[in-house]
């Protein structure tokens, strides 16, 4: 069965197209107008093993908020749609990812119950000219709500000895950890024989 989705989200502020294949090979075509965000969404494809297309046109003349938020909502909706009834999946996934001085843990439950917890240290306000680091939490919240998943993201270690956290490393390690956790959670479990992994019989 094909585990793919296509989501179009159009508002007065943004126009977003997301296409995803959960059983892909990590191919990505990403364009949001926010360079670092494009780089992060590429991490989801590459480290999650998903084929992912994202095309967003947003009101960047105001700021990046609407563009990043609406893209995250569409991406979450695409995951939810592609998972279908979630029969046969592993459901749970977790990953601990190091990136130089940074260590991040992410845990996912494809539960059908949106709940997001996110913990990171104070960071420099921007990565590059456009990406506001305050948006990272909101990206996970928006994605988790639309995907209907439980998501925990914890930065376990960040500061270099005698220095401040490198915002680039802190955020990128989060995207890589979430990607690896999603890869595990969305994978087909050969021991599950197509059953829905819940005693309720539904997710």
Domain residue ranges of the chain, discontinuous segments joined by +: 4-186
> For 120-132, what is each residue's pLDDT tens digit?
999 999 999 999 9
- The string of DSSP letters for 26-50 reads S-EEEE-S-HHHHHHHHHHHHHHT-
Which tokens hold the place of 20? 């995803």
Pick the CATH number of 4-186 from 3.40.50.2000, 1.10.287.610, 3.30.420.40, 3.30.230.40: 3.30.230.40
Report the C-alpha dihedral over residues 31, 33, 37, 39, rounded to 10 degrees: 50
Tally the C-alpha atoms within 13 A of residue 185's C-alpha that lie toward its C-beta: 25
pTM for the predicted model, two decimal places: 0.96
> For 143-196, what is each residue's pLDDT tens digit?
999 999 999 999 999 987 777 899 999 999 999 999 999 999 999 999 988 899
pLDDT of residue 193: 83
Q: Is 172:106 a contact under the CB 8 Å cutoff?
A: no
């Amino acid at each position: 069965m094909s585990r793919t989705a296509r989501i179009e989200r159009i508002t007065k502020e943004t126009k977003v197209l997301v296409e995803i294949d959960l059983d892909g090979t990590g191919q990505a075509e990403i364009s949001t107008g926010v360079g670092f965000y494009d780089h992060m969404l590429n991490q989801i494809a590459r480290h999650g093993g998903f084929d992912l297309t994202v095309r967003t046109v947003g009101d960047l003349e105001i700021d990046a908020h609407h563009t990043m938020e609406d893209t995250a909502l569409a991406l979450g909706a695409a995951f939810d749609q592609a998972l279908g009834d979630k029969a046969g999946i592993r459901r749970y996934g977790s990953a601990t990812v190091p990136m130089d001085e940074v260590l991040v843990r992410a845990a996912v439950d494809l539960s059908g119950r949106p709940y997001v917890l996110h913990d990171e240290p104070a960071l420099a306000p921007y990565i590059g000219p456009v990406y506001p680091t305050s948006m990272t939490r909101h990206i996970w919240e928006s994605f988790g709500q639309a995907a209907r998943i439980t998501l925990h993201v914890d930065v376990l270690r960040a500061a270099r000895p005698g220095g401040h956290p490198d915002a680039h490393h802190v955020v990128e390690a989060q995207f890589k950890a979430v990607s690896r956790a999603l890869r595990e959670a969305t994978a087909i479990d050969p021991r599950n024989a197509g059953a829905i992994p819940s005693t309720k019989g539904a997710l």
